[in-house]
Structure 1
Amino acid sequence: MFKYIKNDLPASIVVFFVALPLCLGIALASGAPLFSGLIAGIIGGIVVGSLSGSNIGVSGPAAGLAAIVLTAIGALGGYQNFLVAVVIGGAIQLLLGFLRAGIIGYYFPSSVIKGMLTGIGIIIILKQIPHFFGMDEDPQGDFAFLQIDGENTLTELLKAINALISGNVSMGATIIAIIAMAILLLWSNVLSNKGKIFQLVQGPLVAVVVGIIFYVTTKGGSLGITDNHLVSVPVPEDFDSFLGQFSFPNFSAITRMDVWITGFTIAIVASLETLLCVEATDKLDPHKNVTPTNRELLAQGTGNIISGFIGGLPITQVIVRSSANIQSGGRTKMSAIIHGFFLLISVILIPKLLNMIPLSVLAAVLFIVGFKLAKPSTFKTMFSLGWKQWVPFIVTILGIVFIDLLWGIGLGLAVGIVVILIKSFQNSHFLHIEGEDVDDGKIKMTLAEEVTFFNKGAILKELDSLPHDSFLELDVRKTRYLDNDIIEILEDFAFKAKERNIDIRLVSERGIVENPHSYIEFFKLDKPKK
C-alpha cells in the first residue's frame, strides 16, 4: 500500500481540497448539519477506502442523494430519525454485496458511462463559473439543474454575465481565481516536468496557499474577499462542543415503515451511483485496474452503517473526487485513505485556517477537473463512432445538465436499449433473392445466431411480404438460440404458405425438410441449444 506513496500523497492533497467544499456544500443542499458532510467525507475516505477493492475510487457524500436527503429529513420528522434510514440503507447494501448484485453496473453501455463523465464535467464547469467571479453563494457540489434557491444553472450564468457586464463582481475573488488558474496550468504543463519537487508539491496546494495569503493581505481593502465567498468549516470552541456536533440515530423509529422505505431508497440509489462510478473510474484509470463490484458494495454498506451511527450523510463512490485523484496521479487506495485523515485532522486542528480559503480558488481547481472530464476530443471521438454511440452519449449529457444525474443516466440507458432493439430488428435475419432472375421466385432467408421475441416484427414483415407462388429456403444452421415466439410465427406461416402456394425448404444441422407440417414438433427434436 505504501509502494506508490510518492504518487498517492500529492494526489490525496488535491482530493482533500476538492472534497472539503463538496462535503460542506452537499450537506447544505441536503438540509443537514454542515458537520454531517464532513463526517461522511472522513468515513468515505478512511473506512470505505480501506475496505474497498478500488485503487483510485474516492467515496464521500453524494450530490445525487441531496434531494432524497432533503425530503426525507422533513418527512421522517428530524435528522436523527433519518439517520436510522441511513443505517438501514447500509445494511441493505451489505446484503446486496453478499448476494453478488455488483454485476448490475456492467449492464450499462459504454456510451452512457462516457456521457455521464462528460455531463458531470460540464456541470462542474457551469456551476463553478459564478464562484470563480465571487458572486454566487449557493453550495458547491449541487449537481441538480434546479438549485435550492429556485434558480437554475442557466439563470445563475446569466446573472454572472450581467454582473460581469455591469462590473458588479468581487474583484478580489476574480483576481485570485485567475492567479490560481495560471498556477495550475503552469504547474501541470511546464513545472511538473522540471523536477521531482514539482511532482511532490502539487499545483492545487500552491494555489490554495497563495489564495490564503491573498485573503489575509487584502482583508478590509478594496480587493478583500467577503466571508460568504470563503470555505465555511464549523469551528468548535472546545472539545465538548466538537463532540456536540455528532448526532446519533433515534432507533425508536426503526419500526416505522416510512423509515424502512427511505432506507431501501438510499440503498438502491447509493448502490447504483457507486456501481456507475466504479465503471466510469475504471475506464478513466490509465493503469486499467478492475474494481471488484461486490466488494465495493460491502465497503459502501459498512461505511453507511458507521456514518449513520455517528451523524453522517449517506456515502457513495463519487466521480468528481475519483477523477481528481486519477488526474493527480493517485495509484493506490492510500490516496483516498490519506485524504480522509486530512479531513479529520483539519477539522480538529485548523478549521480557522481552512476558513480562509477563497471558494474562487477551489473553483479554479474544479475547472481543470471538469475540463479533463469533458474534453472536446471526447465529443469528436463519440461522433465518429456513429449514431448508435453518439445518440445515447448526447442524451445522457443533456439529461444530466438539464435535469440531474440519475435522470440523465436513465434517459441515456433508455435510448441505448432502443438502439439495441433497432439493431436487433435489423439483424434478426438476412434475406436475399437466389439467382439473377428475380422473377423465378427463389428466396432464401438465413436466421441469425440468436433470434428472440425482439425480432418478431422484422421476421413477420418479411414473411408477409413474400409473393404468391414463390419458393422460400429457411436456413437455421447458424442459429444457436431460437425463441418460442419465433417458432410460433413459423408455425402460423405454414398455413399461410399453403394458401399462397409458397413452397418451403427448411435447412438445419439435421438436414433438409421440404414443407414441414409442424415447426413446433420439428424444433422440439432439433431446437438449437444456446
Structure 2
Amino acid sequence: MFKFLKNDIPASIVVFFVALPLCLGIALASDAPPLSGLISGIIGGIVVGLISKSKIGVSGPAAGLAAIVASAISSLGSFELFLSAVVLAGVIQILFGIVRLGVIGYFFPNSVIKGMLTGIGIIIILKQIPHFFGYDNEAEGADSFIEQSGENTFSAIINVFDNITLGSFIIGLIGLIIIIFWDNVLTKKHHFFKIVQGSLVAVFIGTILQVFFSNNASLLIEGKHLVQVPAPDNLSGFLEHLKFPDFSQIFSSDVILIAFTLALVASLETLLSVEATDKLDPEKNITPTNRELFAQGIGNIFSGLIGGLPITQVIVRSSANVQSNAKTKLSAILHGFLLLISVLAIPMLLNHIPKSVLASILIIVGFKLAKPSLFKKMFNLGWTQFVPFIITVVFIVFKDLLWGIFIGLFIGVIVILVKSYQNSFFLHKSESKDPEVVKMTFAEEITFLNKATIQRELFNLPENSRLELDIRKTTYLDNDIVEILEDFVVQAKNKNIFVLLKSERGEVDNPSSYIEFFKLRKQSR
C-alpha cells in the first residue's frame, strides 16, 4: 500500500480540497450540523478506507442522500434519534454484504440510474438557488417540493428577488465564476490548477470577502448566513460538541423504516458509484461489491455513533482521486486524516465561510449530474431509454428519491414487457402464386408474455397454407406456448395447414411428432 506514496499523497491532498467544502455543504443541504458532514467525511476516509477493497473509491457524505436525511431528521424530530437510524442502517448494510446483495445495482436499468443522478442534480440546484442569494426562509436542507413554510420550490426561487442579501449574493457569484473559470480554463493551462481545486479557492476568497464585508453595513453578512462549526479551545471541548445517538426508540416503526431506507439507498448509490469508478480506473480493477457493502456498514455504524451523516462511496471524490493518479486506497485514508486535522486545527476559520459560496459549489455539483447534453443523449437513444429516464427525474424532483427510483424501475419493466411482446418472433410471408408460405422464427426465449402475439398469428393463418416454424435459436419455451402449439396442431389439421418444424435435430413434418418434440424439449430443459 505504501509503494505508490508519490502518487497517493498528492492525490489525497486533491481529494481533501474537494471533500472539505462538499462535506460542509452536504451537511447544510441535509439540515444537519456542519460538524456531522465533516465527521462522516473523516470516517468515510479512515474507517471505510481501511476496510474496503476498493483501490481508488472514496467514501463520505453523499449529496444524493441529502433529501432523505433532511426529511428523516424532520420526521423524527431529533438529530440524536436520526443517528440511531444511521447506526441501524449500518447493521443492515453489513447483512446485505453477508447475504451477498452486492449485485443489486446491476438490476437497475441504466436509464433509471441516469435519471436518479439527474434528478438529484436538479434538486441540489433548485434548493441551493435561494441560499446562493442569501434567502434563508427555509432551512438549508429543505428537500420536498412543498416547503414547510408553505412555499413550493419555484415560489421560493421567485421570492428570492425580494429578499436578496447583497453580500451573500456577491460572494456566491464570485465563487461560481471562480469554479467555472478554474475548471474550464485554468486547469488546461498548468498542472498546478489540477492539484489545487477551484472549489477550495472559491471558499478561501469567499471567506476573505466575508471578513472584508463585515465593515460595510450594506454588505454585512449575518451569522445565520455563515457556517457554524463548533470551535472549542481544546480537544476535550471539541468532544463536548459531538452528538450521540438516542437508542430509546430504535425499534420503533419510524426509525426502522428510515434505517432501511438509508441502508437501501446508500447501498444502491455505493454500488452505482463502485461500477462507475471501476470503469474510470485506468488499471480496470474490480471492486468486490459484497465487501464494499460490509465496509460501508461498518463506516455508518461508526459515523452514527459519533454524530456523523450516512456514508456512501461518492463518485465526485472518487473521480477526483482517479484523475489525480491515485494508485491505492492510501489516498482515501490520508484524505480522512487531513479532514480530521482541519476540524481540530482551524475551526474558527471554517466559521467565517459564507453559505452562499457553498451553494455555488453545490450548484456546480448539481449541474455536473444534470447536464443538458444528457437529456439530448437520452432522447436520441429512443423512447425505451428516454421514458424511464425522464419519469425517474420528474418523480424525484416533484416527489422524492425513492418514488423516483421505483417508479422508474416499474416503467423500465413495462418497457421490457412491451419489447418482449414485440420481439417474440420474426414473421415472413411469401408472395408466390403457390399456397401461401409463412416462415416464423422464434426468439431465444419464449414465455407466457408472448402468448398473445404468437396465438394471434398462428390462428389467423389461412387454409391450405404452409408454416415453416424455426426454433433452432430457441433455448427456452414456456409451457403456455407449448399448449398453444398443441391447440394449433388440431386447428392446422382441420384447415389443411402444412407444418414444417426446423430444429437443431433437423426438420419434422408430422404434427404429432412435432408437438411431442416440443414436450420432450421442454422436459429436457
TM-score range, shorter chain: 0.7 to 0.9
- In the alignment, structure 1 residue 111 sits paired with structure 2 residue 107: no
Shift of 1:306: 1.7
Paired residue secondary structure (1:440): coil
Distance 1:343 1:150 in 2: 38
1:432 corresponds to 2:433:
no
Instruction: Say yes or no: does 1:59 pair with 2:60.
Output: yes
Please name the residue that 2:474 is paired with: 479
Q: Does residue 19 in structure 1 map to residue 15 in structure 2?
A: no
Structure 1 residues 142 and 529: alpha-carbon distance in aligned structure 2, compared to 1, 3 A threshold: farther
Correspondence list, 1:112-511, <5 A: 112-140=112-140, 142-160=142-160, 162-163=161-162, 168-221=163-216, 222-236=218-232, 239-249=235-245, 263-282=259-278, 290-318=286-314, 333-334=329-330, 336-437=332-433, 440-511=435-506
Q: Is the CA contact 1:24–1:35 (under 8 Å) kept in the aligned structure 2?
A: no
Displacement after TM superposition at 1:155 (Å): 2.0
Q: CA deviation at 1:526?
A: 3.2
CA-to-aligned-CA distance 1:363-405 (integer Å, 9 cap, x gap): 2222322222222222222222222222222222222222222
Q: Could you list the per-position Cα deviations for residues 446-468 of structure 1 after superposition, in whole angstroms to 9, with x for gaps in the alignment?
A: 11122122222221222232223
The letter of the residue matching 1:104 is I
1:13 to partner: Cα distance: 0.8
Give the CA deviation at 1:342: 3.9
What's the offset of the Cα at 1:218? Answer: 1.2
Cα deviation code 1:303-352 (max 9, x no counterpart): 12222333434333345655676688877645543443344333333222
Q: 1:91 corresponds to which residue?
A: 91
Question: Does structure 2 conserve the Cα–Cα contact (< 8 Å) formed by 1:10 and 1:202?
Answer: yes
* SS of equivalent to 2:457: helix
Any idea what the Cα deviations from partners look like across 1:415-462, whole Å, max 9, x if unmatched?
22222111111111011113434x723212111122122222221222
User: Are the aligned partners of 2:182 and 2:198 in contact in 1 as well (CA < 8 Å)?
Assistant: yes
Asked whether the equivalents of residues 26 and 139 of structure 1 are also in contact (C-alpha less than 8 Å), the reply is no
Q: Is the 8 A contact 2:437 2:465 kept in 1?
A: yes
Task: Confirm or deny: 8 A CA contact 1:7 1:329 kept in the other structure.
Answer: yes
Deviation at 1:148, TM superposition (A): 4.5
Instruction: Work out whether residues 219 and 225 of structure 1, in 8 Å CA contact, stay in contact via their aligned partners in 2.
Output: yes
Task: Please report the TM-score for the alignment, with normalisation by the length of structure 2.
Answer: 0.87
Q: Distance in 2 between matches of 1:329 and 1:255?
A: 45
Deviation at 1:502?
3.0
Instruction: Give, in whole Å, the separation in 2 of the partners of 1:236 and 1:325.
Output: 32
Matched to 1:415, the amino acid is I
Q: Contact 2:41 / 2:339 at 8 angstroms: preserved in 1?
A: yes
Q: Secondary structure at the match of 2:352?
A: coil
Structure 1 counterpart of 2:417, one-letter code: L
3-state SS of the aligned residue for 2:441? strand
Paired residue secondary structure (1:431): strand
Query: Deviations for 1:503-527, whole angstroms, at most 9, x for unmatched residues?
Result: 3222222233234237664234334
Cα separation, 1, equivalents of 2:484 and 2:492? 12
Number of residues of Structure 1 aligned to a counterpart in Structure 2: 517
User: 1:354 deviation in Å?
Assistant: 0.8
User: Structure 2: how far apart are the matches of 1:320 and 1:404?
Assistant: 22
Cα separation, partners in 2 of 1:307 and 1:15, compared to 1, 3 Å: closer
Instruction: Tell me the TM-score normalized by structure 1.
Output: 0.86
The separation in 2 between residues aligned to 1:246 and 1:267, in whole angstroms, is: 23
What SS class does the counterpart of residue 416 from structure 1 fall into? helix
**Structure 1 residues 206-215 or 386-395, which shifts more?**
386-395
Secondary structure, counterpart of 1:467 in structure 2: coil
Percent of counterpart pairs with the same letter?
Answer: 57
Distance 1:141 1:291 in 2: 32
Tell me the alpha carbon deviations over residues 189-220 of structure 1, each in whole angstroms, 9 at most, x when there is no partner: 33323334333322222211111111111104
